[in-house]
Amino acid sequence: MTQYVIEQLVRKIFRVTYRLAKTLVAAYGSHTLFVLEDLTNVTFNTEDLPKSLRNSHRSWSFFQLESFLTYKAQAIQSIVVKVNPAFTSQRCPKCGLVEKANRHHDTHEYWCAQCQYRCNDDRLGAMNIAMLGQDWLNCIKHPKIKKLTTIGWILIVKRVTVNYPVMLPL
Ligand SMILES: [Zn+2]
């Protein structure tokens, strides 16, 4: 890849991220909470990039988008919040189970082994990020998804089972 091609690629990423930030702000308007994953310490698969670009461009476009979006959002009294990305692609929004094996990369699908909830894996990530944004609005300073251990999960199921007959007379 020549220096010219690299510069063109960088300019194109710059234009696309700027347009995306502008479109998001225009679509959602003022007093909006934009929730992004905090990708500060996250590494990306850059095997499709030339070796010379793998380190320097690892997450550049994400930070560019965050920067543009923050700037544009502030201008219309909106906010950008970054949340912990851990387990956002593994948590079932219906039953709360966090399970890596539920995500099927080959078909871009999430399929919960416990409650059979199914949806596109990117959509699932967006739903979980939105949930963390809601946590932030509910005054949780650093919202994140906690993975329950198997023992923890069994305890919750047992508690629900035990409480259910008590609720029947209501
Ligand atoms: Zn589920």
State how far the Cα of 34 lies from the Cα of 65, in Å rounded to an integer.
12
Query: 140: CA distance to ligand 1 center in Å?
Result: 24
Read off the tokens for 109. Answer: 């699908």
Query: 116: CA distance to ligand 1 center in Å?
Result: 6
**To the nearest 5 percent, what fractions of the chain are helix, strand and coil?**
50, 10, 40
Q: What pLDDT is attached to residue 166?
A: 36
pTM summary value: 0.74
Are the C-beta atoms of 34 and 69 separated by less than 8 Å? yes
Are β-strands 79-83 and 103-104 bridged in parallel, bridged antiparallel, or unpaired? unpaired
Which residues make up the environment of ion ligand 1, defined by Cβ < 5 Å?
Answer: 92, 94-95, 97, 112, 114-115, 117
Mean predicted confidence (pLDDT) in 50-60 = 61
Per-residue pLDDT tens digits for 25-51:
999 999 999 999 988 766 656 666 666
Query: 66: CA distance to ligand 1 center in Å?
Result: 31
Per-residue pLDDT tens digits for 71-105:
999 999 999 999 999 999 999 999 999 999 999 99
Q: What pLDDT is attached to residue 3?
A: 87
